[in-house]
Amino acid sequence: MRARDLDLNRRRKDMILEAAATCFVKQGFHSTSMKDVCVAAAMSPGTVYHYVRSKTDIIRGIIEADQAVTSALLRSLSEADDFFAALFAALDRIAADISQDDLALSAEISAETLRQADLQKLSRLALAETVADLARAVSLGQERGQIDASLAPDQAAAMLIALLDGLLWQATLFGIERMKAQLPFAKQALARMMIDPDRTC
């Protein structure tokens, strides 16, 4: 019955995380109360706290789930033959898939992360992993002659992520439509950043 208990534990926690995510997306992290989460998960406070350590613990679960998605998307970049084609396709997909509420929540989670040491560490490791994954794709692109070989892959990756994060923030404030309109300019900027300007001379 140990196996069954562990399974119940995981299932109940997933239910709570899902219910909480729904609330957070709709109302934000700080304005959804644990009572809201309890109602959405159809459990009493005591039960919720039996499966979840704290409100912060729920954020931890969401960050981990998000990072798994990002990581998979980035690893697929390393498997592509054409770096820029794959990168631009990924940007298009991000712009097409993301919702305004998702953007708001992820900004809120990012901020929440800063005031709690363990969450901040989690968030820092996630970003470091993202940059490392992307640096690997950059390195492969350099070997294929698609990217300026004189660039440090991790620095190029950091710049690319910075530009993308900055655009996502602008999309959060100005709306996703504006980001879609910005994409061609962003692609040009990224290509210029990463292709040797003297290459065609």
Tell me how many helices (H) and strands (E) the chain has. Answer: 9, 0
List Cα–Cα distances, 178 to 95, 100, 106, 111, 187, in angstroms. 10, 12, 18, 23, 15
Residue 108 interaction partner, one of a copy of itself, DNA, none, beta carbon < 5-8 Å per kind = a copy of itself
Helix (H, G, I), strand (E, B) or coil at 44: coil
Instruction: Work out the number of other CB atoms within 10 angstroms of the CB of residue 47.
Output: 14
- In terms of CB distance, is 8 or 162 closer to a copy of itself? 162
Residue 6 falls in which region: left (phi positive, over 0), alpha (psi -120 to 50) or beta: alpha
Q: How many residues bind a copy of itself (CB under 8 A)?
A: 45
By CB under 8 A, is residue 11 in contact with a copy of itself?
Answer: no
Partner whose binding site includes residue 9, from DNA, a copy of itself, none (CB under 5 to 8 Å by kind): DNA
142 belongs to the binding site for a copy of itself (CB under 8 A):
no
Among DNA, a copy of itself, none, what does residue 12 contact (CB within 5–8 Å per kind)? Answer: DNA
186 contacts which partner out of a copy of itself, DNA, none, CB within 5 to 8 A by kind? a copy of itself
Range in contact with a copy of itself (rule: CB under 8 A) among 56-64, 76-84, 88-96, 100-108: 100-108
Q: Are the CB atoms for 154 and 177 separated by under 8 Å?
A: no
Q: In terms of C-beta density within 10 A (0-12 exposed, 13-18 middle, 19 or more buried), how is residue 69 classed? A: exposed
Residue 112 near a copy of itself by CB under 8 A:
yes
- In the bound state with a copy of itself, the residue whose beta carbon lies nearer, of 15 and 98, is 98
Three-class secondary structure assignment of 119-144: HHHHHHHHHHHHHHHHHHHHHHHHHC
CB of residue 3 to a copy of itself, shortest distance in Å: 39
**H or E segment to which residue 147 belongs:** none
The residues of the shown chain that bind a copy of itself, judged by CB under 8 A, are: 27-28, 30-31, 104, 107-108, 110-112, 114-115, 120, 123-124, 127-128, 152, 155-156, 158-159, 161-167, 169-170, 172-174, 182, 185-186, 189, 192-193, 195, 197-198, 200-201
